[in-house]
Amino acid sequence: MTITSRSESTIFVFDEYVQSSIGLKEFIENSQKALETQYLKEVKADYDTEQLERRLVLHSSLEMHASEIYTEEMFKRFQKELMKSTCYIVNSVKNNGTYMSKLYLVEKVTLPENCSRKYRVTVFMYEKIEYSCKKFEHSGMICKHIIRYLDKKQKIKIPESVIMGR
């Protein structure tokens, strides 16, 4: 199953309703139908998010929080990242004289030390988090490195800064 972005899925919805051979009046009517269909899909996704219980894999507090805030598809993606995060360790790095941030290195346990790539997770005051992999910026999903950091620090909620709004 391929995960598409919101704009790609909207274009796909329009393809079902709009063809190049129709007139302007039909185009407007069909476009309205396509928008209504997309709206109803989003309303259903919101309902499912709020009303349906999700199957938890690890029963962690982060997974429970994710089940409450993510749509079904995003929750499945979160669970994949959560499972991948179990192969990583978090090491604290000595501060360079600043008390405004703390640097952590996250690396895969199963690889030899000389082959392992270290990902940086920097936590600033007030829980602002920066990280080197930039998965959230590319896909809107929190990465396994931050999940591992949150788990190590026994956080019970995913920070607002790494939750993509609908």
Tokens of 143: 């990465």
Q: Are residues 35 and 81 in the same domain?
A: no
pLDDT score recorded for residue 148: 93
Tokens of 59: 């029963």
Structural domain total, the chain: 2
Q: Is residue 60 part of a domain?
A: no
Residues 108 and 77 in one domain: yes
Q: Is residue 47 part of a domain?
A: yes
**Together in a domain, 33 and 87:** no
Residue 19 sits in which domain range?
6-51
Residues 6+ apart with CB under 8 A from 109: 87, 88, 89
Question: Are 80 and 158 in the same domain?
Answer: yes
Amino acid at 116: S
- Amino acid, res. 40: L
Token output for 118: 């270290």
Whether residue 28 is found in the same domain as residue 81: no
What are residue 118's DSSP bridge partners?
107
For the stretch 10-60, pLDDT in tens is: 455 667 777 777 888 888 888 888 889 888 888 887 777 677 677 888 889
**What is the structure's pLDDT at 34?**
87
Q: What phi and psi values does residue 50 have, to the nearest 5 degrees?
A: -80, -30
CA 25 – CA 46 distance, rounded (Å): 32
Handedness of CA 18, 23, 29, 31 (dihedral sign): positive
Residue 28 lies in a domain: yes
Same domain for 79 and 144?
yes
Band of pLDDT at residue 101, cut at 50, 70 and 90:
confident
Pair 85, 32 in one domain:
no
119, β-bridge pairs: 106
Look up tokens 């995960």; give the residue: 3
